[in-house]
Homo-oligomer: A and B are copies of this chain.
Amino acid sequence: MAARRAPIVGRHTAEEVALAARNRGMPLEALRYEVTPAGLHYLLIHFDIPDAGGWRLEVAGRVENRFSIGLEELKALPATTLRVTLECAGNGRAQMSPRYPSVPWLEEGVSTAEWTGVRLAELLARARLREGVRDIAFRGADRGFDAGIEHDFARSLTPAQALAEDVLLAYGMNGAPLPPQHGAPLRLVVPRWYGMASVKWLRSIEALGQPFDGLQQARSYHFRSVPGEQGTPCTLMRVNSLMVPPGIPDFYSRSRVLDAGPVEIVGRAWSGAAPVREVALGVDGEWRQAALDAPASPYAWIGWRATWRAAEGAHALACRATDASGATQPLEPPWDLSGFGNNAVQRVQVNVRPDDALFG
């Protein structure tokens, strides 16, 4: 087994900063949009954005009908559009200490888009899975090294997961062609799951008679407490929520200043396991129930809002969602060796100034 990277404590390495610079979080004020506008959706690109020249999708392995298919043929099949929230499994990693050397997400690795494409089940029906298929592997065109192992980014789903009616092969995003950085010409979109399942630059689908042992499936993206354990795979997104930080920021510290008076705090909440049932807004440790918007999609975040009468002084805001399974966000990050699944409540510090400060 190739060496793991050693955990980091304290300030950030040049490698973490390089990953933060080339990957992209969603600025939290963009939570105001129910569908994240093009170019504001978060991005995690493991290797380089590959060139899409000469692309066809191969469907192969343990199937009755192997075939390849081009983009125009795919677009001629019945199209479906789904509004889906995706979150990086490593979102919140940089709040942990020690932390795993990877993209240092604070909390901005989540977004929602409208994905258009063909249901995966439709293509699998054309391929006709043979008996004894254990896993279906999805391979991207993006290639590189991780943990010393050269590979194309690849993930798998079981046949039952793959045949769920909501799994898409998407060629469109927010009504436009899929952009290069989001997987053009075709990507998988697996609603309710953390983002790693939604393989970008998809070039092959292979039905396997044995469990898929690719690095990103069998070793990466597992919850682990200690090095060396097999761990538990990351699958559905844990219940989580964020707010638009109120007021105006300081450029460098991002600390917030707000005028005293009533302010509507708005945000969004999501869970892969079950619908969001409740969101609470915390002010200085006291929790009050927020109002939920009407859900727009079973696969997308839900808006919430609460009015707060901001009084002069320093205040600590937080938000905390609970889903219909009863799962609720923890107050502190749950420990994970690789920094996966941190759904601890967001905390926003604000300084409220007298409401006559504008005239001062």
Q: Chain A residues in contact with chain B, CB under 8 A?
A: 5, 10-22, 24-25, 27-30, 32-33, 37-41, 45-49, 51, 94, 101-102, 104-106, 108, 143-146, 150, 179-182, 245, 248-254, 257
Contact = CB atoms under 8 A, between A and B. Distances in A.
B102 A252 contact: yes
Contacts of A14: 11-12, 94
B38 A179 contact: yes
A27 B49 contact: yes
A279 B143 CA distance: 29
B181 A27 contact: yes
Count identical subunits in the complex: 2
A181 B40 contact: yes
12 contacts: A5-B252, A11-B11, A12-B12, A12-B17, A14-B94, A20-B20, A21-B25, A22-B28, A22-B108, A29-B48, A48-B248, A145-B250
Given A12-B17, A21-B108, A22-B25, A251 B94 contact: no
Given A33-B180, A145-B250, 17 more contacts: A11-B13, A12-B12, A12-B16, A12-B17, A16-B17, A17-B20, A19-B252, A21-B25, A22-B108, A24-B24, A27-B48, A38-B39, A47-B251, A101-B252, A143-B248, A144-B249, A145-B248
A257 B11 CA distance: 28
B144 A248 contact: yes
A21 B27 CA distance: 8
